Structure 1
Amino acid sequence: MSEEVRRVGRELVYKGAILEVYKDHMEFANGNHADWDYIHHDGAAAVVPVLPDGRILMVSQYRNALERHTLEIPAGKLDRPDEPGKLCAGRELEEETGYRSDSLEWLITLRTTVAFCDEKIEIYVARNLAAASQQLDEDEYVDVKAYTIEELKEMIFGGTIEDSKTIAAILAYESKYLKQK
């Protein structure tokens, strides 16, 4: 912590299946105090699955917070806080799309909401996709479809794709791998 701000207490307000919500009691150098919300998340990984023809596999699934389906790259929560992101990304690729890859390369790491949450998502690019079998969780219903980078960019800039990890991953993938050509 910095000299201007320090946490003087933390209390658990809620513990759920994927996150913990805390109230942090903060003290400032000028003597003032405040309570800040803090959400802990063990982390996640995501993957940009690239087919041999360059199209990218995307998943459509219902998201309760938005009360609608969203189009996203495959992603999921780490099984444990110290699980390597690459392992998680490979597992989620197979579970959600029915493909596996022997070639996962780190693309970017992002923090989803730095003002109040510590969630970290490591994002990988998967090539050399091989057919496997989709292994969805009991409460997961996922449709898989391939799109060109141009189709995805149109959906991003048209407001159809709003998921931050997906937007960051698609634009980073294009910048790193396609702009060089």
Structure 2
Amino acid sequence: MTIKDTPEEWEIRRTQTPFVGKKTSVRTDEVVMPGGAVVDRDYQVHPGSVAVLALDDADRAVVLRQYRHPVRQKLWEIPAGLLDVPGENPLHAAQRELYEEAHVKAEDWRVLADVYTTPGGCDEAVRIFLARGLSEAEGDRFAVEDEEADMELARVPVDELVRGVLAGDLHNNCLVVGVLSLVAARSGDGLDALRPAEAPWPARPFEA
């Protein structure tokens, strides 16, 4: 048996969109189950996101601390952001987010992992990149507002982040997946064996 996720779509009898927000919406589908029953499935429709685990030469990751209102916590996270434009190249979006949130650029980019954040209730897909060869970005810093105006920026050793994840002190999904994927890649075929930055992403197809 091949352990691999595969595309599939069950019959949808009816679709409604009871809520439309600025970036996301809520959809209700009437889905036909294998036994023939028709049930409602509510879920958030999301444009998709990118995140960046950016490593410097001292094996420290660029992280930021930001207030997240739904969970009422300040979370340590890696730079991340929405795919604002349909079909946007995720690498370009990741480079933009690293510049805007950390004022950093990187020479080497790889794909660490592609994940669905909460597939039982949201169709958000996230591509997590590994960025190496860091240097200070050129030009003015990006103007921040709202939650980002209170954001803290730091560089934290990877080993310390791993300990924080396993201790239950760090909860942001992109940070958790990114850091543990990095450790797994290092113990496996190595970072240079990771997928290239422009690898296909069926969950959010894009133009090169």
Higher strand share: 1
- Determine which of 168, 171, 174 is the counterpart of 2:183: 174
CA distance in 2 between partners of 1:176 and 1:168 (Å): 12
Q: Where does residue 161 of structure 1 map in the other structure?
A: 170
Give distance in 1, aligned partners of 2:67 and 2:141. Answer: 17
Q: CA deviation at 1:66?
A: 1.2
1:113 aligns with 2:118: yes
Q: Which runs of 5+ in 2 are unaligned?
A: 1-7, 191-208
Alpha-carbon distance in 2 for matches of 1:115, 1:62? 25
The one-letter code matched in structure 1 to 2:98 is: L
Listed as ranges, the matches of 1:47-126 within 5 Å are 47-126=52-131
Written as runs of structure 1 = structure 2, the 5 A alignment for 1:39-54 is 39-54=44-59
Deviation of 1:81 (Å): 2.3
Give the aligned residue type for 2:71.
Answer: L
1:65 match: secondary structure? helix
Gaps of at least 5 residues in structure 1 are none
Cα drift, residue 84 of structure 1: 1.2
The normalised TM-score by structure 2 is 0.80
Which of 128, 138, 155 is 1:146 aligned to?
Answer: 155
Q: 1:99, 1:134 within 8 Å by CA — same for their partners in 2?
A: no
Distance 2:58 2:80 in 1: 22
Percent identity, aligned pairs only, is: 27
| RMSD (Å) for aligned C-alpha atoms | 1.8
Matched, 1:10 2:15: yes
Q: Please, what TM-score do these two structures have when normalized by structure 1?
A: 0.91
Question: Structure 1 residues 32 and 127 mapped into 2: Cα distance closer, same or farther (>3 Å)?
Answer: same
Cα shift readout 1:6-31 (whole Å, capped 9, x = no counterpart)? 21011001111221101111223433
Q: Which amino acid in structure 1 is aligned with residue 23 of structure 2?
A: I
Deviation at 1:117, TM superposition (A): 1.4
Describe the SS at the equivalent of 1:36.
Answer: strand
Q: Which residue of 2 aligns with 1:135?
A: 142
Alignment correspondent of 2:29: 24
Name which of structure 1's ranges 85-94 and 139-148 shifts more when overlaid on structure 2: 139-148
